[in-house]
Structure formats: C-alpha cells, structure tokens
Chains A and B, each alone.
Chain A
C-alpha cells in the first residue's frame, strides 16, 4: 500500500487521472453518444474502447504495485509478443528445439534489467544471442534456408525482447524527477498509444493522401500530421509533470515519438503483409494481437530510452 502511495507522488496520480479522463471520453463517444441518439454504437469501436480499459487497467496496476512487478509485467509482455511472432513466421521443422533457445533471451534480458546492469542489458540480444543462435542453428546440420531461419529469429528477438525491454529498464534508471522511472514509463507509453489513436482519428476524419498505399492503405499524410500535432501538444504538456525533460527536449520528443511510432506501425504492417495475415492474432478484442498493439511501442521505447539516456542522464555519453 505504501509502495502504491509512494509511486502516486510526483505527478503520477495526475497522469493516471488524465488516462482515466481519456478513457471516459472514449467510452462516452463509443457507447453513450450513439445511445443518446437512439442508435446502436459501432461494435468494433465499443470492443476497442473496452479493451483499452482492460489494457490500461492491467498496465497501471502492474506499474503501481512496485518496480519488480512492473518489470515482470513487461517481461510477460515480451514473452507473449515473442510467442505470437514465432507462431506466425515460417520455420524449419529441424529448428523446433532452437526456439526454446530463443525464449532463453527473455530471462537473460530481464535479469540485467532487474539487476540494473546496463552494459549487459544493451548487449545480450544484439550481440551474444546474435552470435549464439546461428551457432545452435548450424548444429542442426541443415544449411538450406539457414540465413532465413537465423535472421527471422533474430529480428523477432530484437523487436519483442530487446526493444520492449527498454520499457522495463526505464523503471530502474536513477530518478531525476520525483515521479522516477514510473513517470518515464508512463510518459512513453501514454504518448505512443495516444499518438496511435490520434493518428487513427485524424486519418478517419481528414485522410486523403496515402503515404504507403502498398503496405498500409489506411495511413495518410493528414492522419500522420494531425496525430503528430495532437501528440506533440500532449508530450510537451505532461513532460514537466512526470519527467525531468526540459521544454525543448519535450518538444523534440513530441515530434520524434509520433514519427517513430508511425514507422513502427507501418513496418509491422509490412511484416504482416509478408506473412499474409491481417492481425497477428485475435487475443485483444478490436485490436488484434499483442504485436498489433505494441508495434509502435517497439520502436518508440528504445528511441525514447536512448534520447533520455544520452541527453538527460549522461553528459552526452
């Protein structure tokens, strides 16, 4: 209980209030407005918003209980995302057991998060597993499609374990603001998810000029720019409440995070298109799978992390 009260200090409570407000507005639009007009609401939108309540609730609860629970929650997210990825990609039957080695990346990565060893955390997947997994694949003795097997495996690990792992490492950074690591984590998650919604809404309202029609026909310049402006405002307004960012830093991130989030979104669309699926799974009603929900976060998390690690924490390390 004391732990929860402690994390609520330093503006975190205020941001949770903001999240609650956003969810209430979304529910008002999806369920109450159609009812007041005497019409049935869009079931797609209703299930989407309801899933937001569940996702936001679980996330906030996990983050508030304590650092360890928060890290464990993100670790579980990595596991679900990796499992979803490995279930989608074509594999070689001979490599079936090598997949267990790939799962080994999760405890290894998060061990260094729990113990706060930045030097290992940043190296274990991109270097050690990058070298180890092809070695293990080689031991199966099958060279046909060897390169495909090793690169798809490593690409998935980078996305689901290395990139998402940065969210967890925010929690163990030494606090420069009373909101501490929880504040940083809430910031990047809220800004990224808000941008997804803002891009979607402004794309639906004003969208005309498609950006990458072959990959993601729903993405338009109007949606991208509208989302970026809304998100930048949010990013600058909430930065002083829960982060040590200066106004300039917040402004840069307010432009950088929506742009990077967009790239993550369309990159995962390209992957899904390659695999011939629309959604990675049907786990979250209205949203698809875990990968569909965290696609932009997988890109914004490491970029945000390195931005603050380089400019805010380190004297330009």
Chain B
C-alpha cells in the first residue's frame, strides 16, 4: 500500500480551494438548500453517510463543513477511479482530501479495503462514505453495500450521520461533463444507532433514515 491512507489534504490549499472556488461556484452556479445543518458534526470521529449521484456530491458535502473543521474531513474515494493518473490523484488527495480505497481485491492478494478508513477514525477524523459504491441512475438511490456496516462494527462508538442529497443527479449526472444550473438540496439526519451484531439491520436502518430525509426535500421528478 502506498502512503495514500495517511497522506492528508493540503493544509492551506484545500481550505482556500473551498473558500475561493467551490463554495462560490456551488452557491451561485447551483444554489444550496440545506436542512438541519446544525446536525452535521464538526469534530470527529464520525462517519457521514450519503446517497451518491454525481461528482458534485463530495464537493457539496465538504462545503457544508466549517472551513476550520474541513481539515479533518476525509471522503472515501475509489482508488481504481481517482488514483489512476498523477494529476487526478494529486487533486483527489490534496484538494479533496480523499482517502483512496481499493474497491476490488487485487489478484488474490487480500488487502483490507477498510483499513485506511479505520485509521482515519482512530485519528479522530470525519469520514464521508457513499455506501452505494458508485453513482447510479440520477436521483435513484441504490442498495447500500456492506462496507459501511463493517466499518461501523469496528467502531461501534463512532456516530453514523445520514445525509440525503438531491438535485445533483440532474445538475451533473454520471457520464455528463457540462453542469446545468439547478438547485441542490441536502438534509442532515440524527445519528443512526450502531448495530455490531446485525449488518443487514444496520444497513437497512441507515437506508431508511436517508429515504426519510429525502422525503423532506423538494422533489422534481424527471422522466
């Protein structure tokens, strides 16, 4: 494993990038409607879980945190997608501050994909996770994978905060490169009780929490 698990975000480039570029762009180019912002943890360790529709998801989630707290917020990103080329990898690690995860077991060599996230939680950081594993169809939540339950089982005392995101799958869906100005919405929920014994029940509880939050958000159904 390279040093990707401990290589943190750039100490001042990342806050600057979010204050000067990402936040104004999200605010003016799209517009944010955020519900229950006060529920978002600003200190770790914590696991923040959201549905995944767009590359904008991570940027939106990160921009919800205070600039001072941003230092310890680490999104999980797929190493096979974001770790490929040097430039993308540099941006992903330094500006986004992502922890690269090996999604697929490599050639029989069994590595623990969750180890870097565990380490981050032990360092007291806030981990952002998209348990769908991939961006699916716009605005449709897919079933969550079990990674979240495995991680939570290892850290039963770390709060798991569900977040519902909406609108991003229309503004910039998978496969599209031109963003369309549309409002983006986020709703933050109360922590979901960890259930180390029953992976499935826990995963379903988180899914249900996100679906309930999603119902609070304005919905324009596209056909």
The number of residues on chain B lying at the interface, defined by a beta carbon within 8 Å of a beta carbon of chain A, is 18
B190 to chain A, nearest CB (A): 20
> A248-300: which have CB < 8 Å to B?
275, 277, 281-283
B183 at interface by CB-CB < 8 Å? yes
Inter-subunit contact A84/B183 (CB<8 Å): yes
Inter-subunit contact B222/A90 (CB<8 Å): yes
Point out the residues of chain B lying under 8 angstroms from A87, CB to CB. Answer: 31, 167, 182-183, 218, 220
Residue on A nearest B180 in the bound complex, by CB: A99
A19 at interface by CB-CB < 8 Å? no
A93 at interface by CB-CB < 8 Å? yes
A26 at interface by CB-CB < 8 Å? no
A86 at interface by CB-CB < 8 Å? yes
Given contacts A87-B218, A281-B33, contact A93 B223 (CB under 8 A): yes
Inter-subunit contact B220/A83 (CB<8 Å): no
Inter-subunit contact B223/A145 (CB<8 Å): yes
Point out the residues of chain B lying under 8 angstroms from A91, CB to CB. Answer: 170, 220, 222-223
**Interface residues as binary, A32-59 with B (CB distance below 8 Å gives 1, 0 otherwise):** 0000000000000000000000000000
Point out the residues of chain B lying under 8 angstroms from A93, CB to CB. Answer: 138, 222-223
B contacts with A: majority SS: loop
Point out the residues of chain B lying under 8 angstroms from A277, CB to CB. Answer: 218
A153 to chain B, nearest CB (A): 13
Given contacts A83-B31, A281-B33, A283-B31, contact A92 B180 (CB under 8 A): no
Point out the residues of chain B lying under 8 angstroms from A97, CB to CB. Answer: 178, 180
Given contacts A83-B31, A281-B33, contact A92 B220 (CB under 8 A): no
Inter-subunit contact B180/A90 (CB<8 Å): no
**Interface residues as binary, B151-187 with A (CB distance below 8 Å gives 1, 0 otherwise):** 0000000000000000100100100101011110000
Point out the residues of chain B lying under 8 angstroms from A90, CB to CB. Answer: 220-223
> A63-104: which have CB < 8 Å to B?
79-80, 83-84, 86-93, 96-97, 99-100, 103
B136 to chain A, nearest CB (A): 14
Interface residues of A (CB under 8 A from B): 79-80, 83-84, 86-93, 96-97, 99-100, 103, 145, 275, 277, 281-283
Q: 30 interchain pairs (CB within 8 A)?
A: A80-B31, A83-B30, A83-B31, A83-B181, A83-B182, A83-B183, A84-B31, A84-B183, A86-B182, A87-B31, A87-B183, A88-B220, A89-B220, A90-B220, A90-B222, A91-B170, A92-B222, A92-B223, A96-B173, A99-B180, A99-B181, A100-B178, A100-B180, A103-B181, A145-B223, A281-B31, A281-B33, A281-B218, A283-B31, A283-B33
